[in-house]
């Protein structure tokens, strides 16, 4: 075969070029649609974050159960997330995501009925259904990453998370506006807004989202035509371990500190409104970096951004241990939010590079199950540990988690550095 023939064989045909361009366009469109859905989800969940503990206190037959409805959001999400991955594989993302959003609509309506009739246990069922929605919504960023090549995965993930920026501001404001919508049943109006967010998500997904095949990662996994590896083989790879370490540590630490922060602020003689403002500032920190996190990864490298996320979480702990002043709370929770964003965007980028398309469901499901399980434990444990050990000790407790995450990230970076010369030799 002549060199001209070889070059001709490598050149894509015109139909292939059109198909590739259409695939890229669909991937970008889907990322934008999922950003809107992420915003609707964040609005719904921020309303629950703001009011559910208060509603639980109002309805609970035993006040020790007041935080159960809120905890059930995370617990239900942890239970459902594994099964959601396989349902997505079977039904496709469009229909599966719409079913998840429909559960939010149902949960919101059940919560409205429960508040009107003073039923605590049906209110728990309503918040659990919102947890089901949360489980499906966590796959939005992975769906965006799977639809593009390795070069654009972090950018697609960031695009989806930008949907939370405006919602982080609007959500608490919606909660404050809607809680008195029906004076006869305090807080019921807020849960009607939660139902509306779910219904809007269903409509957006069914009208604008398009299912498309996942693209194989260019590095880190076997060829796309090879048989699927056992889950045990996947989870032992440095890229998977580093992805889980950053996703789990980032989410676990974020929920652990965020859950306790408003209570700690009040205990340190700051006002209830100060606690709410701290959380709102934290939510902005969580989502605002999505506008530039993908570009930072492209410019400085994935490893550098992951280490920056760990450093910001460390800065949160150090700031919180050094002072309990109101500016220190604001700074610590801002560091925490940005650190979570870098860890999640970077960790998700790694996760999307750790599997072939045939391995997607079990790998994503197992990773999200670990992340949700750790987050549920952090949510449930934050209040009791704060009450027993205090705010400073609570922040000190995250330091060993950060160390383990740094070790896993460093191991992956060393493995990547060792594999790079081999890849270059293969190209030669």
Give the pLDDT score at 18. Answer: 52
Residue 120 contacts residue 67 (beta carbons within 8 Å):
no
Three-state SS letters, 248-274: HHHHHHHHHHHHHHHHHHHHCCCCHHH
pLDDT average, residue stretch 282-297: 87
Share of the chain above pLDDT 70, in %: 89
pLDDT beyond 90 at 406: yes
Separation of first and last alpha carbons in the chain: 20
For 324, phi and psi rounded to 5 degrees? -115, 20
Give the pLDDT score at 179. Answer: 81
Q: Is this structure's pTM higher than 0.85?
A: no
Q: Give exposure, 132-163, as e/b (b: 16+ Cβ within 10 Å).
A: bbbbbbbbbbbbbbbbbebebbbbbbbbbbbb
Q: Which two structure tokens, joined as six digits, stand for 319?
A: 């700031």
Q: Give the DSSP letter string of 11-32.
A: SPPHHHHHHHHHHHHHHHHHHH
Confidence of residue 6 (pLDDT cuts 50, 70, 90): very low
Domains in the chain and their CATH numbers?
26-215 (1.20.1250.20), 227-421 (1.20.1250.20)
Sequence-ordered strand ranges (E) for 305-378: none
Share of the chain above pLDDT 90, in %: 49
Confidence of residue 133 (pLDDT cuts 50, 70, 90): very high
How far apart CA 65 and CA 178 sit, in angstroms, is: 24
Confidence of residue 227 (pLDDT cuts 50, 70, 90): confident
Confidence of residue 404 (pLDDT cuts 50, 70, 90): very high
- Region of residue 187 (left: phi > 0; alpha: psi -120 to 50; beta: else): left
Give the pLDDT score at 34. Answer: 94
- The string of pLDDT tens digits covering residues 85-111 is 999 999 999 999 999 999 999 999 999
Neighbours of 117 (CB within 10 A): 12
Confidence of residue 139 (pLDDT cuts 50, 70, 90): very high
- The string of pLDDT tens digits covering residues 191-209 is 999 999 999 999 999 999 9
Report the mean per-residue pLDDT for the chain.
86
pLDDT beyond 60 at 262: yes
């Amino acid at each position: 075969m002549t060199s001209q023939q070889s070059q001709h064989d490598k050149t894509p045909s015109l139909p292939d070029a059109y198909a590739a361009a259409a695939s890229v366009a669909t991937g970008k469109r889907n990322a934008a649609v999922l950003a809107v859905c992420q915003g609707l989800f964040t609005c719904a969940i921020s309303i629950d974050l703001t009011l559910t503990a208060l509603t639980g206190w109002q309805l609970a037959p035993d006040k020790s159960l007041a935080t159960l409805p809120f905890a059930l959001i995370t617990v239900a999400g942890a239970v459902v997330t594994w099964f959601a991955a396989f349902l997505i594989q079977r039904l496709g993302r469009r229909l599966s995501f719409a079913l998840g959003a429909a559960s939010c609509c149902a949960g919101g309506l059940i919560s409205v009925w429960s508040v009107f009739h003073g039923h605590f246990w049906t209110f728990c069922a309503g918040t659990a259904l919102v947890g089901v929605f949360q489980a499906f919504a966590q796959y939005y960023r992975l769906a965006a990453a799977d639809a593009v090549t390795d070069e654009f995965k972090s950018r697609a993930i960031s695009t989806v998370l930008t949907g939370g920026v405006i919602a982080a501001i609007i959500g608490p404001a919606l909660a404050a506006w809607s809680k008195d919508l029906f004076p006869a049943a305090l807080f019921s109006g807020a849960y009607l807004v939660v139902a509306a967010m779910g219904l809007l998500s269903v409509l957006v997904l069914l009208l604008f989202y398009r299912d498309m095949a996942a693209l194989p990662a260019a590095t880190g996994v076997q060829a796309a035509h090879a048989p699927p590896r056992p889950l045990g083989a996947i989870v032992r790879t440095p890229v998977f371990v580093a992805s889980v370490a950053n996703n789990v540590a980032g989410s676990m630490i974020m929920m652990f500190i965020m859950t306790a922060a408003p209570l700690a602020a009040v205990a340190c003689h700051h006002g209830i409104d100060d606690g709410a403002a701290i959380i709102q500032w934290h939510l902005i920190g969580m989502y605002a970096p999505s506008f530039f996190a993908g570009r930072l990864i492209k410019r400085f490298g994935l490893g550098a951004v992951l280490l920056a996320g760990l450093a910001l979480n460390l800065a949160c702990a150090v700031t919180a241990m050094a002072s309990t002043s109101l500016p220190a709370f604001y700074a610590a929770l801002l560091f925490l939010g940005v650190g979570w964003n870098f860890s999640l965007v970077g960790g998700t980028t790694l996760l999307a590079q750790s599997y072939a398309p045939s391995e997607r469901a079990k790998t994503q499901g197992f990773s999200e199950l670990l992340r949700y399980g750790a987050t549920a434990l952090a949510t449930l444990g934050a209040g009791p540990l704060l009450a027993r050990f205090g705010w400073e000790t609570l922040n000190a407790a995250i330091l060993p988690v950060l160390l383990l995450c740094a070790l896993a990230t460093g191991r992956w970076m060393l493995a990547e550095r060792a594999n790079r010369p081999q890849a270059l030799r293969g190209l030669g």
